[in-house]
Structure 1
Amino acid sequence: MTQTVQATVVLVSAVASGQGKTTVTAALARKLQHQGKRVRVFKTGPDFIDPMLLERASGAPVHSLDLWIVGLDACRQLLAQAALESDVILIEGVMGLYDGNPSSADLARAFGVPVLAVIDAAAMAQTTGALVLGLRDYGPVDLAGVIANRVGSAGHAGMVADALRDVPLLGSLQRQEKSLPERHLGLVLPAEVTELEQLLDQLAEQLQLDEAAWQRLAPTTLPAPVVQQPPAAALAGKTIAIARDAAFAFLYPANLDCLRELGADLCFFSPLADQPVPLDADALYLPGGYPELHAATLAQAANWQQSVRGFHAASKAIFAECGGMMVLAETLVDQSGTASPMVGLLPGQVQMQARLAGLGSQGVATAHGQLRGHTFHYSRFDTDATPVAHTIKHPSGAAGEAVYRVGTLSASYFHAYFPSCPTAVAALFLGLPWEAAPCAP
C-alpha cells in the first residue's frame, strides 16, 4: 500500500500579474505563522526576488515549483517533503492562473491542489463574481475561495462576498498606504526595504481571514516522499566561491543544495565590498542580480576585478549567468547612460535598456543531457565573441540565449536550474566545455 502525507495546500493565483499575489501570500504566511502554524511557501515558475520576500514572511526557504524546469517528479517530492514538515503549504502562482505552458493551473491540477484566487477589488464590486467564476470554470480548477485585495471597507468586502455565489470569500485585505517597492526586474530586494518585518506584521494583522471557512479546507493528500539516490560526488574535494551581495543575489536555494550534494564546499564573498575571490577556491560562480545598480562600485573594486582576472588566467572554472556575465564584459552602461569599466574577460559592452530583452523558460544541451532554466533581462550584450551554443526556448523550440566560452569561462544570460542536470553542472564547474549541439524543447 502506498504511503501518503497530508497538509493544507493552496495555490495562490489571480487573473493577471499585479493583483497582489505576493502581498497576499506573504500576509497569509505571516498570519498563519503567528497562529502557531508551521508554514512552507513555494513559488511557481522561475523567480528569485519573490521567494526572498516569502522566505522572510514564512521563516523557511522558498523553492521553485515548475513542471518543466523542475520536473513533475521533483515537484511532487518537494511538496511531499514539505507536507511532512508543515501544517500549511502556500504556492504562489505566476502571472495569471492560465498563463504560460505549463501554467499555474496545470501545476494545481497535477497535484490536486485547490486554488485561492486573489482579486484586486479596488475598482469593482459585483463584477468580481464574474471574474472568479470564469477563473474557476475556464480550466476548470478546484477553487477553494477568494481573497479580495485592496478593499475599501467592510461594506465593500460584503458586496464582493455576495457576488461570489457559491465560492467562499476566505479573506480580504484593505488598501495599503505603503506597498512593497518595485523596480525593473520585480520587487526591491528585501534587504533594501526598511522596516520590512514591521510591514509584514502589519499586512498579517490587516488580513481579515474567515477562520471558519479556512478550517473547512480539505487537506491535500500526496504520496510520501521517497528516499532518493544522491548524485555522484563529482565535485568532492572542490571548493566553489560564490559571489553573494546586493549585486549578485539571484540564487536558487536548490542550486546551492545541488552543489553540496555533488560534494562541493561552498564559500561566499562580496564583490561590492571589494573582496577578492578566495585563494583556495577551485571554481567561481557569478550568479545574476542587479550589477547595473552598483556599476560604479564594481568598477572601483580593483581587488575583486584583479582576482577574477587572475582566477581565469590560472585556468580555473568560472560560470557566470546574466548579471554575472554582465560584469565580465569590458563595459557596463547603466540606465542613465553612464559607462563603467568591468572585468573585461568577455569582449564587448553591456547596455541597459527600457525594453525587456529576454524572458521565459529555456534549456541548453550538454553531453550529459539537457540543463534547464530561464532568462529574464533588460540589457543587451554587444560583442564580437562567437557563441559556442544557444539555448532553446520552451515550448517553441526557437533559438534562445547565446552561450559564450573563453578558456574555462562559460557565460550566458541563461539562469540554470542545477538539479535539472547535476552531471552537466559538475562538468561545468570542473571547467569542461558545454556541448554545442541543439537541444529539443
Structure 2
Amino acid sequence: MAEGKAGAENRGGAGSKGLIIAAPSSGSGKTTLTLGLLRLLARKGLAVGSVKVGPDYIDPAFHAAASGRPCYNLDSWAMRPESLGALAARAASGAELLVCEGVMGLFDGAFVPAGQPDGSTADLAAATGWPVVLVIDGRGMTGSAAAVLAGFAHLRPEVRIGGVIFNRVVGDKHKAAIAAACARACPGISLLGFLPPSSGLETPSRHLGLVQAAERADLQTFLDGAAALVAEHVDVDGLAALAQPSRLAGGSLGAMIPPLGARIAVARDTAFAFAYPALLEGWRQAGAELSFFSPLADQGPDEAADAVYLPGGYPELHAGRLAGNAGFLNGLRRAAAAGAVLYGECGGYMVLGRGMEDAQGVRHAMAGLLGLETSFARRRLHLGYRRAALYAAGPLGEAGQGYRGHEFHYASVLAEQGAPLFSVADAPGADLGHAGLVEGRVTGSFVHLIDRFAGS
C-alpha cells in the first residue's frame, strides 16, 4: 500500500543533546549496553532517539525496537556534511536525548590521508561535540584498564571521553582495583558503571553480523534483560547528564540518491531488509510514492510502479524458496518488460541475475534480467568503503555522477556479462575496476550506495 508523498521539512532537533557509546574494539559490549539504555529510558517515558555510526543495517533495527523511534546512520566518510547535519537533526527531532552507538573501536576508520574524514566514531565525536562514554572489556585487567582509558582519553584532544563503563567485571575486588587505578590515572572521567558477565544476553550472529531483529522471537525478552542489566549496574542519570548539543549544522534531508521513479515498489522482508531509512525518506521528500512487497511471501511489485528497488539482505538463505516464487519473479519480469526501472543492491543484485548457487552448491534460477551468476559455495569476503562513478547516464544520474557506499558480502561471481554500471575505487582511491551491470533499465551492483558526491 502506498505510504504517500513527502511531509514537511525537518526543522526540529536543535535543542536535543547527544552522547556516544564507543569502545576500544568490537566485542566490548557497546551494542548490548546501548540497547539496554535505549529500552530503559524509553520505558521511563523519555523520548530517546538514536543513531549508529557507519554502514550498518542490523544494529539500527535493534535500536528502533528498543526505543520505538527510527534509527539513522551517520558516516563522516560516505556522507556529505549537509547530509550528516540533516540526519543528526532528523534523529534528534522530538527527542530529549540522542544516543549514538559507535562502530568498531573508537578510532577505527578508513585508511585515508591524515586530516580527511575516515568514518570513525572519533571523527563523528569531533564533528558533533558529543562526549564519548567508553565501554571497556575489563576481563583479565586491573591497573592496565587505567592505561587503556588514559590512552584513549589523550590520543585526540578534540574527542572528549566523558565517562567509562567497564564490562565483564567479576566481583567487588576486581571492581575496586579498576576503580582505584582509573581514579588515579584519569580523575576527570566519570566512572559510570561495572557490568558483570551476562551470559544470558548474547547477540547471535551469522556471516554478515548479528541475526536480524525481526528474526528473533525472543527480541523483547532480550531488550528487557539488557534494560534490567543497565538499570542495576550503570549510573544512568550521570551518563545522561554528560550529553551535549550537536555542533553540526541542521537542515532539510534531501535525496541522497535520486528517486528511481515517481512510484517506487520496495522489496521488504527478512531476505531484503537492508534499506537505509534515510534513503527511503529522501525519496519521499523528493515527491516519490513508495509501496512495499514481500518476495518471501511470493508478492510481486505493484503493477502501477514505474520503479522497483531490491535492497540487500539475505536472499542466499532463502534461494530455493525465492526460485520457486513465480509470482515474485514473474512480477519483476513484467515490470522490466513494461519499461520500469529495476535496481538491485548486493542481494537484490544477485536476484536480478540468472542464477544463485547456495552454500551447498545447488544452483537456483533467479529473475534472469542481468547476466549474473553468483555462488555462496565458493565464499570470498568483499568488505570496505567504495567510491563509485556511473559509466553512463541512467536512473541514478548522468555519466560520471559520483557516489560513496560500502560493500560487504561473501558471494563469488561466476559470470558477470554485460555493460558495467560503475567504475569503483576503495576509500584511499585505489582503482578496483568496474562493478555492476546494466541491461536496458535494469541495473544493479554489490555496492550499497549511501550518498552522492560531485566526484566519487
Equivalent of residue 145 in structure 1, options 159, 163, 183? 163
Contact 1:6–1:222 (Cα < 8 Å) also in 2? no
Q: Equivalent residue for 1:243?
A: 267
Counterpart of 1:433 in structure 2 is none
CA distance in structure 1 between the partners assigned to 2:99 and 2:203 by the alignment: 19
The residue number in structure 1 matching 2:66 is: 57
| Residue 306 of structure 1, CA deviation | 1.6
Secondary structure (helix, strand or coil) at the match of 2:78 reads helix
Residue 156 of structure 1, aligned match among 168, 174, 180: 174
**What is the one-letter code of the residue matched to 1:174?**
P
Q: Tell me which of 398, 402, 415 is aligned to 1:367.
A: 398
SS state of the match for residue 41, structure 1? strand
The alpha-carbon deviation at position 114 of structure 1 amounts to 0.9
Question: 1:19 offset after TM fit, Å?
Answer: 1.4
Q: CA deviation at 1:216?
A: 4.3
Q: 1:317, 1:221 → 2: CA distance?
A: 39
CA displacement, residues 351-402 of structure 1 (integer Å, 9 cap, x when unaligned): 1244412322433345274222211111122224142432232233422660
Q: How does 1:101-120 map to 2 (within 5 A)?
A: 101-120=118-137
Equivalent in the alignment of 1:170: 192
- 1:347 deviation in Å? 2.3
Which residues of structure 2 form unaligned runs of 5+?
1-11, 110-117, 391-396
Q: CA offset at residue 128 of structure 1?
A: 1.5
> CA offset at residue 412 of structure 1?
0.2
In the superposition, the TM-score normalised over structure 2's length comes to 0.85
The answer as to whether partners of 2:78 and 2:119 remain within 8 angstroms in 1 is: no
Higher mean Cα deviation, 44-53 or 127-136?
A: 127-136
1:117 CA displacement: 0.7
Is 1:319 matched up with 2:340? no
Residue 129 of structure 2 contacts residue 244 of structure 2 at CA under 8 Å; is this kept in 1?
A: no
In structure 2, relative to structure 1, the CA distance for the partners of 1:371 and 1:26 (3 Å cut) is same
Shift of 1:218: 5.3
Partner of 1:31: 40
Tell me if the contact between 2:405 and 2:447 (Cα under 8 Å) persists in the aligned partners.
yes
Inter-partner Cα distance in structure 1 for 2:355 and 2:243? 55
Q: 2: distance between equivalents of 1:241 and 1:260?
A: 12
CA distance in 1 between counterparts of 2:237 and 2:283 reads 44
- Corresponding residue for 1:424? none
Q: Which residue of 2 aligns with 1:204?
A: 227
Equivalent position SS for 1:76: helix
In structure 2, what residue type is equivalent to 1:66?
A: D
> Could you tell me which amino acid in structure 2 is paired with residue 104 of structure 1?
T
Aligned to 1:349: 373
* Contact 2:373–2:416, Cα closer than 8 Å, also in 1: no
User: CA separation of 1:22/1:309 partners in 2, compared to 1, >3 Å: closer, same or farther?
Assistant: same
Match of 1:420, SS? Answer: strand
| Identity rate, percent | 38
1:215-261 C-alpha deviation (Å, 9 max, x unpaired): 542533546744x49679x8698211111111100010011111112
For the Cα contact (< 8 Å) 2:358–2:375, is it kept in 1? yes
Q: Larger deviation: 342-351 or 182-191?
A: 342-351
Scaled by the length of structure 1, what TM-score is found? 0.88
Query: Which secondary structure state, in structure 2, belongs to the residue aligned with residue 91 of structure 1?
Result: strand
Matches of 2:410 and 2:443, distance apart in 1: 21
1:303-342 mapped onto 2 (5 Å cutoff): 303-342=327-366
Kept after mapping to 2: 8 A contact 1:329/1:342: yes
Rounded Cα–Cα distance in structure 2 between residues aligned with 1:6 and 1:344? 51
Partner deviation per Cα, 1:97-152 (whole Å, 9 max, x = no partner): 11112321111011211111111123333322111111111123210111212222
**How far off its partner does 1:79 sit?**
2.4
Match of 2:213 among 170, 190, 198: 190
Determine helix, strand or coil for the equivalent of 1:258: helix
CA contact (8 A) 1:285 1:320 kept: yes
Secondary structure of 1:345 counterpart:
coil
Return the offset for 1:65. Answer: 0.6
Question: Distance between the aligned counterparts of 1:32 and 1:154, measured in 2?
Answer: 27
Q: How does 1:160-309 map to 2 (within 5 A)?
A: 160-165=178-183, 166=187, 167-178=189-200, 179-207=202-230, 208-211=233-236, 213-214=238-239, 216-217=241-242, 219-220=244-245, 222=247, 225-226=250-251, 228=252, 238-309=262-333
Q: 1:391 to 1:406 in 2, by over 3 A?
A: same
Q: 1:378 aligns with which of 410, 434, 438?
A: 410
Amino acid corresponding to residue 91 of structure 1 in structure 2: C
Partner SS, residue 364 of structure 1: strand
Equivalent position of 2:4 in the other structure: none
Aligned residue number for residue 72 of structure 1: 81
* Contact map agreement 1:357 1:380 (CA 8 A) in 2: no
Equivalent position of 2:139 in the other structure: 122
Structure of greater relative contact order (alpha carbons < 8 Å, 6+ residues apart) = 2
Work out the CA distance in 2 between the residues paired with 1:407 and 1:304.
20
Instruction: Quote the Cα distance in structure 2 between the aligned partners of 1:81 and 1:180.
Output: 28
Q: What is the match of residue 7 of structure 1?
A: 16
Distance in structure 1 (CA, Å) of the matches to 2:168 and 2:13: 38
Give the drift of 1:162: 2.2
Q: Distance in 2 between matches of 1:328 and 1:236?
A: 16
Q: Distance in 1 between matches of 2:253 and 2:61?
A: 29
**Aligned-partner residue type, residue 191 of structure 2:** L
Mark the CA change 1:55 to 1:301 in structure 2 (over 3 Å): closer, same or farther.
same
Is this contact kept in 1: 2:82–2:249, CA < 8 A?
no
